[in-house]
Amino acid sequence: MKNIALYSISALCFLATSVLSAQDFGKLDVSPMDIAWYPAKHMDANKKMRVIYNRPQLKNRSLETLAPANAVWRTGANEAPEITFYQDVVFGGKDIAAGTYALFSIPGENSWTIILNSKLNQWGSYSYDKSADVARVQAIVTQEEEALEYFSMIFHEDNGNLQLSMGWDNLRVHVPVSVK
């Protein structure tokens, strides 16, 4: 009986100190991280490219407020996305060496400027440095009937042509990509 009482007291002390030392992780991030890759088959280990980004939501706000026209935007939420090319590519008509780049954009009415920047680990576009740009390309903008609440990116083939496509609200932005 004495052993049971000692064991019970030890267990209560352990639980009390465990609860008191528990970590406070705070509020969860409402802009979850996502990834798009090509080829898109999850079991294919021979990836050609991928983009890791955070997905903001409209939440009854206008797209123009969240991604203002004619201003450098981080192309998502939180950290600037990072796009990795595992082989040399042609991105929007420009030769790009294999590597990882920060992805920024400048929204426009009829086209967006998509920027590959060599400075990684950037929060937002606050420390964006134009001198670190590797390439700036013009992307095609289209409007769709289906509205997307969450900003999204995908690699997809359209008539045999590969594109990085971004969508948010009714807007779609497309950059042609080809592996060398």
pLDDT of the chain, 180 residues: tens digit per residue: 555 555 555 544 544 444 444 455 566 555 588 999 998 877 778 889 999 999 998 999 888 889 989 999 999 999 999 999 999 999 999 999 999 999 999 999 889 999 999 999 999 899 999 999 999 999 999 999 999 999 999 998 888 899 999 999 999 999 999 998
What's the CA gap between 50 and 21, in Å, rounded?
A: 39
101 burial class (0-12, 13-18, 19+ CB within 10 angstroms)?
buried
